[in-house]
Structure 1
Amino acid sequence: MSARQTRKQAAAATNSIHSPKATDEDDNGLMNGNGSAHKGLAREEAKENIFLFWPNVIGYVRIVLAVASLYYMPLHPRTCSILYSVSCLLDALDGYAARIFEQSTRFGAVLDMVTDRCTTSCLLMFLACAFPRWTIIFQGLLALDFSSHYMHMYASLAMGGAETSHKNVDKSRSWMLNLYYTNKTVLFVFCALNELFFIALYLLSFSSPLLSPSLLNSVGEASAAQLQAGGQVNSSVLDQIFVNPYSAAALELARANKMDSFWPWVLAGVSFPVMAGKQIINLVQLIKASKWLAEGDLQARVAQGLPRKQD
């Protein structure tokens, strides 16, 4: 064989290795043979546990902290305020985690909203009991909060589709809601200061004789004994793990650990305008969602030929 023929054969072998046809054949071989196994592994790896996504785990921690704050709410304002505040601040962290880990889910969005509504409602219920003369105000705030968010969520799903987020509000529908939901800074400030106002009122119920003088009166031994008897946990193991907030020792600590009302008044004064603005946003949200649903009802009635003309 001549040197020229040898060079031609080597070049042909090299071209066959790098040719698209050879590559396609190799790929087809993988897909027809071992490629199916690779695809099966990919499908198996794609099975994720939504409930264990980091944003949702943070949501569970929020719930635990919120329940703990409710446990200490009647008599331990400092402990309750710290636990409740941390639970609220984690609301911003779960959204950040969802973006970082690309784990935004509908379950997480609903879990976040339900947790917000429930924790705020529980605090408003306590304030209604602490300030009986203002009960109707707290009841109205609770009703507005629930109704506006439910109506807005339902309208987003019914009119925008199942894949539409309740935070996707077009400017043409409401510039106020668009700014509120799309600007993360605005959303955080309004939500945080709204909760801060109610926390400040909660602290004032323990510290301000002007607003709640009855809570500053000393509790007699008979009342303490009644509270202790009514609040006992029927388990010695639980008694060792959880301190009973209604025990006589806890009542003595609560009376001896009274707070000054200066800073709660400052916090209430600073956060009140934002809280009022948040209620206006809730009202606008309720109205806009109602109108959006009514538009859908009109379109559905036209499609059905309603109202039918009666001769």
Structure 2
Amino acid sequence: MPSTSFFGRHDNVYLYVPNLIGYARLAFAFYGFAVASTHPGYMMACYALSFVCDELDGRFARMLGQTSTLGQVLDMVTDRVATSCLLATLCVLYPRWQVLFLALLSLDIFSHWFQMFSTGARGNTTHKDVESRSVVVRFYYRNRIFMGFCCVCCEVLYLALYALAWPRYRALAVGRLPAAAVRLLHPWVAPHVAKALARPISLPVAIAAAAAPGAIIKQFVNVIQLRNAADTLVKLDLEKRA
């Protein structure tokens, strides 16, 4: 029997606590992107709050027993919309890299929706590819800490690139490369690159560099996930013909 408590499993799924957190997450993201071209500080703060809400909604859903299909779809769609909007913003800020950001945006949408549809067609309750033939993908989905690390790295990398486009944040420095390292790299890089290496390291650059490995792994997982999902759909088609 459904609970009558607001913090229990009552009948109004729209008002489940994790779903309310999901609505707040959407509001933070919407406002952040609304001011992204004029107030970078507000944008990054709102995006960070939205990301925190992404962690909280799942915790509250499990803690209160308020898991729901609506909440699952809201969570995944908000993930995709927020990341897509951030990549679209980077397209505007870095027109020379527009093709790269559009490719990342397309890969994100393709991989997740292919995976969602293929798992639904198989009757699975989750889109997480825990039975993938890829060791990396299986480890990614079975280890929540590693998966969370890669997801956070991806978002942090995009936010760092966003911050790098603004002079006030680009001017923030965290130090310089050791002189020995600069001398070691000097013969192997172009003169303008060697000159740049001798300058103070920008904070957004340092953050982006630290987040890049996890973000690259995330893109690799997306590619494998897309391939596996496409293979599953083809297999289902062949089974229908048999």
The interval holding the TM-score normalised by the smaller chain is 0.7 to 0.9
Residue 158 of structure 2: aligned partner: 198
User: Any conservation in 1 of the 2:29–2:46 contact (CA below 8 Å)?
Assistant: yes
Q: Distance in 2 between matches of 1:189 and 1:43?
A: 36
Q: Distance in 1 between matches of 2:64 and 2:135?
A: 30
Paired AA for residue 166 in structure 2: F
Which structure is larger by alpha-carbon Rg, 1 or 2? 1
Residue 176 of structure 2: aligned partner: none
The Cα RMSD (Å) is 1.9
Residue 260 of structure 1: aligned partner: 171
Q: Distance in 2 between matches of 1:43 and 1:114?
A: 27
Structure 2 residue 216 is matched with structure 1 residue 300: no
Q: Distance in 1 between matches of 2:219 and 2:154?
A: 9
Structure 2 residue 224 is matched with structure 1 residue 284: yes
Alignment map for 1:23-62 (pairs within 5 Å)? 42=1, 48-62=11-25
Alignment map for 1:104-115 (pairs within 5 Å)? 104-115=67-78
TM-score under structure 2 normalisation?
0.81
Residue 82 of structure 1: aligned partner: 45
Helix, strand or coil for the counterpart of 2:165? helix
Residue 183 of structure 1: aligned partner: 143
Of 131, 134, 137, which aligns to 1:171? Answer: 131
Paired AA for residue 71 in structure 2: G
Give 1:172 shift.
5.5
Helix, strand or coil for the counterpart of 2:37? coil
- How many corresponding residue pairs? 209
Of 107, 118, 138, which aligns to 2:101? Answer: 138
User: Any conservation in 1 of the 2:54–2:75 contact (CA below 8 Å)?
Assistant: yes
Residue 31 of structure 1: aligned partner: none
User: Any conservation in 1 of the 2:111–2:222 contact (CA below 8 Å)?
Assistant: yes
Ranges in structure 1 where 5+ consecutive residues have no aligned partner: 1-41, 208-256, 303-311
Q: Distance in 2 between matches of 1:107 and 1:181?
A: 22
User: Any conservation in 2 of the 1:56–1:94 contact (CA below 8 Å)?
Assistant: yes
Q: 1:77 to 1:98 in 2, by over 3 A?
A: same
Give 1:202 shift.
0.2
Q: Distance in 1 between matches of 2:169 and 2:217?
A: 32
TM-score under structure 1 normalisation?
0.63
Of 213, 226, 241, which aligns to 1:273? Answer: 213
Ranges in structure 2 where 5+ consecutive residues have no aligned partner: 173-201
